[in-house]
Chains A and B, each alone.
Chain A
Amino acid sequence: MKKFLVLLILILSTTNISAAEIELKKAVIRLPPPGSTTTAMFIDISNKGTKDRTLIKARGAVSDDFELHEMAMAGGKMSMRNTDKILLQKGSVTSLKPGGLHIMIFNLKRPLKEKEAVDITLEFDGQEKIQTKAIVTKDL
């Protein structure tokens, strides 16, 4: 029994450590201009762990359509492509920001209000899910 408890505590504490390995900061969603039901979410994801991780999905009640996108600029031309994962290198912060990586949100089910906090769940490799609130921001 004692052994079992120790094991349980050990498992729980390991889970806790791994959960704290990924930290989310500065989550924002661009207030979509009228006429557009498409927008982008930006966030800083820090991977404090000792292994590379990946962001594989984003979800939220505001839309059924979230995608991970990357942007590239070449010869004055901007290209955007969807990607199935975003690499989060160990011991570093991956910034999803304008002009680079972003989480694209299509077909918003309702209009968003400025300064509103939108619930978003990010899914990482190893079936880890982390909830966050993204603030709807006008000028990004």
Chain B
Amino acid sequence: MTKTILSTLALMALLIFSYLYTKKQTDFNAFTLPLQTSKGTLKLEDLKKGKLTLMYFGFLSCPDACPTTLSTVGSSLKELTPEELGKLNFLFVDLDPERDSLQKLKEYAEYFHPLITAVSIPLKDLEHFTRYFGIVFMKVPLKNSRMGYTIDHSTGILVMNEEGKLLPHIEHGTNKTVMIVTIRKLLSEIK
């Protein structure tokens, strides 16, 4: 009998908690969240106006996936006209705020292309922000590694139109030629 009461109570507590948890989540607004950059904060709701916004999520000690993608992005952006670049935002959202400083992120991002803006978001908001966009990331401890931990993460480039609507990702491994064509096509659809 006591067991039944206890398990009922536990179930109720669980329901209340999950309700509060989801409620808290729905209060979160990715578009009004202040995003920290080296030039101050910006918000997606201002950024998206009249522009195509691309976002890539990564971290500084990422030795392979991040520099490979950003290198392709950088060389693709170099092929675009100033007019085309004027209709485009590219954000590099950091997934390792515990280790990466904004200054280093800025240097890193601009090395690939000056248009790429490094963005830092505190961990508590970052979890909501990534979840909103369907981006997965996970801190994974590494045994016997000087790295201590790594970050497993989604590698697609997120695409958002001027209305804040999400479009299909640009997949990881997309080559330069395809990336240029894809970005040009997306830009031509921006009103």
CA of A130 to CA of B60 in the docked complex: distance in angstroms?
A: 31
Considering the complex, give the chain B residue whose CB is closest to the CB of A100. Answer: B64
Contact B61 A36 (CB under 8 A): yes
B156-A76 in contact (CB<8A) = yes
Assembled-state Cα–Cα distance A101/B13 (Å)? 46
- The number of inter-chain residue pairs (CB within 8 angstroms) is 95
- Chain B interface, DSSP helix/strand/loop, else mixed: mixed
Show the binding face of A for B, using Cβ within 8 Å: 30, 33-36, 38-40, 65, 67, 69, 71, 73, 76-82, 84, 98-99, 102, 104-107, 139-140
Does B119 make an interface contact (CB < 8 A)? no
**Would you list 6 pairs from A and B whose C-beta atoms are within 8 A, ordered by A residue?**
A33-B70, A39-B63, A67-B145, A102-B63, A104-B63, A140-B67
In the bound complex, how far is the Cα of B67 from the Cα of A30, in angstroms?
Answer: 9
Is B142 part of the binding interface, using a Cβ–Cβ cutoff of 8 Å? yes
B115-131 to A contact mask, C-beta < 8 Å, 1/0: 00000000000000000
Secondary structure at the A interface, as helix, strand, loop or mixed, is strand
CB-CB under 8 A from A82, the residues of chain B are 142-145, 147
**Which of A73, A77, A102, A140 has a CB less than 8 Å from the CB of B136?**
A77
Contact between chains at A38 and B65 (CB < 8 Å): no
Cβ distance B180 to chain A, nearest Cβ, rounded Å: 15
Stretch at the interface among B18-26, B39-47, B79-87, B101-109: B101-109
Tell which of A34, A84, A102 has the most Cβ of chain B within 10 Å. A34
Would B172 and A98 count as touching, CB distance under 8 A? no
Determine if B114 is an interface residue (Cβ-Cβ < 8 Å): no
Report if A98-B64 is in contact (Cβ < 8 Å); known contacts: A33-B111, A77-B153, A77-B154.
yes
Judge whether B67 and A33 touch: CB under 8 Å: yes
Q: Report Cα–Cα, A40/B103, bound state, in Å.
A: 22
Q: Mark B133-169, 1 if CB is under 8 A from A, else 0.
A: 0001000101111110010111110000000000001
Determine whether the beta carbon of A35 is less than 8 Å from that of B106: yes
Chain A to chain B: the 3 pairs with minimum beta-carbon distance, closest first: A35-B108, A35-B104, A35-B107
**Cβ contact within 8 Å between B60 and A40:** no
Give Cα A38–Cα B60 distance, bound, in whole angstroms.
Answer: 8
Q: Are A40 and B111 in contact (CB under 8 A)?
A: no
- The smallest C-beta distance from B93 to any residue of chain A, in angstroms, reads 15
Do B146 and A106 have beta carbons less than 8 Å apart?
A: yes
Q: Is B68 an interface residue when CB atoms closer than 8 A count as contact?
A: yes
Q: Which residue of A lies closest to B111 (CB)?
A: A33
Docked Cα-Cα span, A94 to B68, in Å, equals 20
Asked if A65 and B146 sit within 8 Å, CB to CB, the answer is yes
A30-B67, A36-B67 known, 5 other contacts, Cβ within 8 Å? A33-B107, A71-B65, A76-B136, A77-B153, A98-B64
- CA separation between A76 and B171, bound complex, in Å? 8
B37 adjacent to chain A (CB < 8 Å): no
Interface-centre pick from A102, A104, A107 (highest chain B CB count, 10 A): A104
CB distance from A26 to the nearest CB of B (A): 16
